[in-house]
Structure 1
Amino acid sequence: MAVSFIKMHGLGNDFVVLDARTGALPAIDQTLASALAHRHTGIGCDQLIVLEPSGVADLRMRIFNADGTESPACGNATRAVGLLEGRPATIETLAGILRTEPADAGIAVDMGEPQFDWQAIPLAYAMDTLALPVGWEHLDNPVAVNVGNPHAIFFVPDCDRVDLARLGPLIETDPLFPERVNVNVATIESRQAIRLRVWERGTGLTLACGTGACATAIGAMRRGLVDREVRVTLPGGMLTIGWGTDNRITMTGPAVEAFRGTFEPERFRAAEPGNGG
């Protein structure tokens, strides 16, 4: 059975999108998801996105990381799905219902309300999430924010000089974070601008992370480092993040459809997991 897919990306954070609303799909498990994500033997992506009918929204979105684990939310993927819909839409996710609509700069997404309680991150034990009293080498005192996914944000003089490929997996899997964590290193450039790099749990270094941009902006706002609307520049490009007086986060940025194709699921069932990136 040939299965259709759409290859998309948001600032280089790339996805393979499968739409169960337009045709039957095989059962998606960790093995198949990671095999499709593999850069050398699969289609290649940071996340596999599965679209399904929803009883509470216009559609349901499931998100599988490159290692096959399922993730509650993905900001860049939400913009990509918003682009496919081409109109204002509500999207059911494990993190709640997200709303998208076309905007001058691409797709605007209502990412909901940030969570700051230590149990909501979650952390292994109680501590102040505005400045966690912990550190890994020269990275210390991060802000912790949950915006559908858990994030730890370190503010540093120059995020490009941080060896995130080495420190990212150490922090991601630290026992302090029972559900693992996304690791963000950010440099404040002005009251309206942040430069950011992200180690994404279950994926690794990524060109862009929408929830990471949201969490970093909110962390910087909580510390009084930036205004309530800020530009976040990642290796793949720029997002605009706003935190309204209603406590809701709006993320605006581009999304792109790259190409469409088909694959035979049985060819991937025996593939080795991993992204190989």
Structure 2
Amino acid sequence: MYYTFYKYQGTGNDFVMIDNRDLHFPKNDTKLVKKLCDRRFGIGADGLILLENDDSTDFRMVYYNSDGNESSMCGNGGRCLVAFAKQLGIIDAETTFIATDGLHYATINEEGIVSLQMKDVDEVQEHENHVFLNTGSPHHVQMVEDLHIFDVRNQGAKIRFSDLYGQAGSNVNFVSQTDENKFALRTYERGVEDETLSCGTGATAVAIAMKATGKTNSSIIELQVEGGTLEVSFTEKNGIYSHVFLKGQATFVFEGKIEV
């Protein structure tokens, strides 16, 4: 059995894309998804995304973490899927699609820059040493010093599996401020169970958290992730963050066939 796949990356966050409009892919086969994402025995990726037909939008996004389990929204994955839909000829410069957290609108230009509208955020939980919020996926946001040498993998895992977030866990972002409206972050992603080079919902969460805690007054924030640069913009009124957009490059890497 062969599967045709397409590899994409958004600021180093990489994904296996499969056109599943004919529903040929066995969606409940977690072992297969895990194998395809394996960097030694498969294609290698942080996640796998199926593009499927949807009656009311241009397409449906079905996202799996590299552990093989279907997961919550992935911002960089959504941006890459928009680029994939454009490559397939499904869309041109703008689109609407459905994901696990609801409806999304996005635009893509000729340079492959995708601006993806994320869900509104109406609750930001501020604690003594961290902030928690949900941007389509749950995110713990914590300021640290010496981010470049911080032990993201071990400290992230400790928080992700702590009693603070129970069995479901949370993604964990460690942040340092580099300018008035610029922040650097490194993210430990649940489901991948390691640091990734970028996390779109994480960058979105950090931007909103920095605004909510007064670290910046800007509503357009630049995020330096390990794999590049993302921009998050939003409108804030009475603690509600709307018109939230995640913007950055989404790049086609290669396509191929794999026997399973």
- For 1:157-213, what per-residue CA distance to the aligned partner results, in whole angstroms no more than 9, with x for missing partners? 332232111111111111221321000000011221000100011111100101000
Match of 1:260 among 240, 255, 258: 255
Instruction: Tell me what 1:89 maps to.
Output: 95
SS of the equivalent of 1:21 reads coil
Match of 1:193 among 158, 182, 185: 182
Contact 2:112–2:251 at 8 Å: present in 1 too? no
Cα deviation for residue 217 of structure 1 reads 0.5
Ranges of 4+ aligned residues in structure 1 off by more than 4 Å: none
Structure 2: any 5+ residue segments left out of the alignment? 87-91
Contact 1:20–1:50 at 8 Å: present in 2 too? yes
Instruction: Tell me what 1:180 maps to.
Output: 169
Sort the Cα spacing of 1:144 and 1:23 in 2 relative to 1 into closer, same or farther, 3 A: closer
Cα deviation for residue 115 of structure 1 reads 4.2
Query: What is the aligned-residue RMSD (CA, Å)?
Result: 1.6
* TM-score, structure 2 normalization: 0.90
Matched, 1:219 2:209: yes
- Structure ranking higher in strand proportion: 2
Contact 2:60–2:99 at 8 Å: present in 1 too? yes
Q: Could you tell me how far apart the structure 2 residues matched to 1:29 and 1:207 are? A: 27
Identity %: 32
Q: Could you tell me how far apart the structure 2 residues matched to 1:252 and 1:181 are? A: 23
Sort the Cα spacing of 1:240 and 1:91 in 2 relative to 1 into closer, same or farther, 3 A: same
Match of 1:114 among 121, 129, 135: 121
* TM-score, structure 1 normalization: 0.84
Contact 2:66–2:191 at 8 Å: present in 1 too? yes
SS of the equivalent of 1:230 reads strand
Matched, 1:230 2:221: yes
Task: Please tell me the residue identity of whatever aligns with 2:83.
Answer: L
Contact 2:23–2:52 at 8 Å: present in 1 too? no
Task: Please tell me the residue identity of whatever aligns with 2:136.
Answer: G
Cα deviation for residue 251 of structure 1 reads 0.8
Q: Could you tell me how far apart the structure 2 residues matched to 1:53 and 1:207 are? A: 30
Alignment of 1:54-69 (within 5 A): 54-69=54-69
SS of the equivalent of 1:70 reads coil
Contact 1:73–1:93 at 8 Å: present in 2 too? yes
Cα deviation for residue 214 of structure 1 reads 0.2
Instruction: Tell me what 1:101 maps to.
Output: 107
Cα deviation for residue 248 of structure 1 reads 2.5
Q: Could you tell me how far apart the structure 2 residues matched to 1:105 and 1:32 are? A: 30
Task: Please tell me the residue identity of whatever aligns with 2:204.
Answer: C
Contact 1:172–1:201 at 8 Å: present in 2 too? yes
Contact 1:78–1:100 at 8 Å: present in 2 too? no
Instruction: Tell me what 1:205 maps to.
Output: 195
Instruction: Tell me what 1:40 maps to.
Output: 40
Cα deviation for residue 28 of structure 1 reads 4.0
Matched, 1:144 2:151: no
- For 1:62-84, what per-residue CA distance to the aligned partner results, in whole angstroms no more than 9, with x for missing partners? 11111112212111111111112
Cα deviation for residue 142 of structure 1 reads 0.8
Instruction: Tell me what 2:89 maps to.
Output: none
Cα deviation for residue 43 of structure 1 reads 0.8
- For 1:9-48, what per-residue CA distance to the aligned partner results, in whole angstroms no more than 9, with x for missing partners? 0011100001112672234422111111111001110001
SS of the equivalent of 2:126 reads coil
SS of the equivalent of 1:99 reads strand
Match of 2:148 among 154, 160, 171: 160
